[in-house]
Amino acid sequence: MNNEKKEDWALEQDLKYNRLTAFKLFAMTSSMVISVDELAPFGKTGATALFYLLIAGIAWFIPITQMAGEMASIDGWEKGGIFTWVKGSLGDKTGWTAMFYQWIHITVGMDTMMYVIIGALSITFGTPWFNTTPIVRFILMMVILWGATAIQVIGVRKIGRIAEWLFILGIATPVILLIISFFVYVIQGHPLHMTINWNTVIPHKLNGNTLVAFVPFMLAFCGGEASAPHVKNLDHIKSYSKVMLGLAVTAICFDLLGSMAIGMTVPKDQIENSTGFVYTYGKLLTSIGLPGDLLQKIVGIMLACGIIGELGNWIAGPNQGMYEAAKEGYMPKFFAKTTKHGVPLRIMVLQSSIVTISALLITFTSGADADFAFNVSLAATTAQYLMVYMIMLIAYMVLKRKHEDYHRMYYMSKNPNLSIAIAVLALIITVIAFFVTFVPAQGTPSNLRHVYVWTLIGMCAIVSILPLILYRWHEKWQSQ
């Protein structure tokens, strides 16, 4: 009886602290997917960004989110996200490997977010040395990272509420205002630094530079499935698929209009990846007769807050799935414990420790070149995340081929052959993008090109091997 009371109390606490509405889930997931991190690189790409965004959004992102919605709606697959989905189709070892890849990829992705935060603050406070002095950059990164980790103790529900407001304040509002300012800029007749027509939008040559330019557009749409472990906390589970579809449409519109606003109003050679968004604000607002220098600083603070909210959600999301894996013995039992609010804090501290190591490596390797650090962390994040999607897509194809009898509340398509064909197309895009990430981005200094390539190869090799090594102790940890 005592055990039953404890279980009832635990369930009551979980519902109390972690219940989510569809909008809160949308806000949490949006802050993982919709970001301004990639808008400056998109603007550098020019008119071709239109083509890349539509291809990545329609042929890749929408199918991925719909597949995630279908798998998350299967009876018994509500918990654990991609770990549960892949495990159900391809077995324990592969499920654990996919979960590990998803969890660890963001260790480098958080570096990218923090570089943008620091770039924004360097403009806000007029302190460019924030962005060009490695030791200062690293210290600021640690303050941001461990602060975002510490606040996780308040629970998923409160984190969701904070993420909702930070997303509106720091991501949605600045992008919407940027787009409005851009329309005013065009109406006033100011010069445009980009020409949009058939010849400029469609890439007519398929070469290394063309393919490398496409890679950041893949990352812009990564993460839609990362909040799936929270589907069990939704008021209405069936709303998950609708949230994902709404997210797809919103992400495409935000990225499309935001990148055009930057690329059309700022000359290509003046756009820097880590500071480009805030810099564009100042230049654009001044051009239309507003006090750009002052408003630029305000936007820098807003942007920093928005990305900090995004960072917090990336700490909260994948760690829920990793906690489920720890409970099943894929990690030492030490990590299978939570706070009284159901927060797997020990796993979060482990993740933030790994982020610290990757930040140390990339920040001090890049020296004063902030854009090189940004490009390496962006490429490493993309490559590692695409490894997750390769496994997820194969798992979905196996599900549709062998387990169509599993009861689910949502289908991407009732036609299994059509679903598999869509998954095959998404897989081809994913595999090509993965190998292209190892080609140095345009503008990489010649003396750092080898550093770029070998850093990526080293990171991907370590990430590939680690889950297989850890799995060898699975039975021992499971029996503890």
3-class secondary structure for 322-342? HHHHHHCCCCCHHHCCCCCCC
How far apart (Å, rounded) are the C-alpha atoms in residues 177 and 185? 12
Adjacent-strand bridge partners of 74? 408
DSSP 8-state assignment for residue 189: T
Kindly state the percentage of the chain with pLDDT values over 90: 12
Q: Are 132 and 272 in contact (CB under 8 A)?
A: no
Q: What pLDDT does 401 receive?
A: 92
CA angle 421, 427, 432 (to 5 degrees): 135
Q: Are 95 and 81 in contact (CB under 8 A)?
A: no
DSSP 52-70: HHHIIIIIIIHHHHHHHHH
Q: Are 112 and 268 in contact (CB under 8 A)?
A: no
Adjacent-strand bridge partners of 20? 234
Q: Is the pLDDT of residue 396 over 90?
A: yes
Q: Mean pLDDT for the chain?
A: 81
Binned at pLDDT 50, 70 and 90, residue 142 comes out as: very high
Q: How far is CA 82 from CA 56, 119, 166, 241, 318, in A?
A: 21, 33, 26, 15, 9
Mean predicted confidence (pLDDT) in 382-409 = 91
Q: What pLDDT does 311 receive?
A: 81
Mean predicted confidence (pLDDT) in 390-404 = 94
Binned at pLDDT 50, 70 and 90, residue 356 comes out as: very high
For 413-467, write each residue's pLDDT tens digit: 889 999 999 999 999 999 988 988 888 877 777 877 888 888 889 888 988 898 9
Q: What pLDDT does 15 receive?
A: 46
Q: What pLDDT does 273 receive?
A: 67
DSSP 8-state assignment for residue 440: P
Looking at per-residue confidence, does 187 or 252 come out higher? 187
Kindly state the percentage of the chain with pLDDT values over 70: 88
Looking at per-residue confidence, does 149 or 204 come out higher? 149
Q: What pLDDT does 420 receive?
A: 95
Q: Is the pLDDT of residue 360 over 50?
A: yes
Q: Does domain 20-477 have CATH number 1.20.1740.10?
A: yes
What single letter denotes the amino acid at residue 116? V
Residues 6 or more apart whose Cβ sits within 8 Å of residue 217: 38, 42, 49, 52, 53, 55, 56
For 299-310, write each residue's pLDDT tens digit: 888 888 888 887
Most confident of 123-137, 255-269, 321-335, 413-427: 413-427
DSSP 144-183: HHHHHHHGGGG-HHHHHHHHHHHHIIIIIHHHHHHHHHHH
Report the predicted TM-score, pTM, of the whole model to 2 decimal places.
Answer: 0.79
Looking at per-residue confidence, does 27 or 182 come out higher? 182
Q: What pLDDT does 160 receive?
A: 65
Q: Is the pLDDT of residue 82 over 50?
A: yes
Q: Are 437 and 456 in contact (CB under 8 A)?
A: yes
How far apart (Å, rounded) are the C-alpha atoms in residues 217 and 152? 30
Most confident of 294-303, 390-399, 400-409: 390-399
Q: What pLDDT does 399 receive?
A: 94
Residue 195 backbone class (left: φ over 0; alpha: ψ -120 to 50; beta: rest): beta
Q: Are 358 and 434 in contact (CB under 8 A)?
A: no
How far apart (Å, rounded) are the C-alpha atoms in residues 436 and 425? 17
In the chain, where the domains are located: 20-477
Structure tokens at 370: 């902030």
Residue with tokens 């990305």: 307
Residues 6 or more apart whose Cβ sits within 8 Å of residue 38: 216, 217, 219, 220, 255, 259, 378
Q: What pLDDT does 353 receive?
A: 92
Q: How far is CA 406 from CA 410, 424, 433, 447, in A?
A: 11, 21, 32, 54
Sign of CA pseudo-dihedral 52, 54, 55, 60 = positive
Closest CA to 379 of 42, 114, 120, 108: 108
Residues 6 or more apart whose Cβ sits within 8 Å of residue 442: 209, 212, 213
For 225-247, write each residue's pLDDT tens digit: 766 656 666 777 667 767 777 88
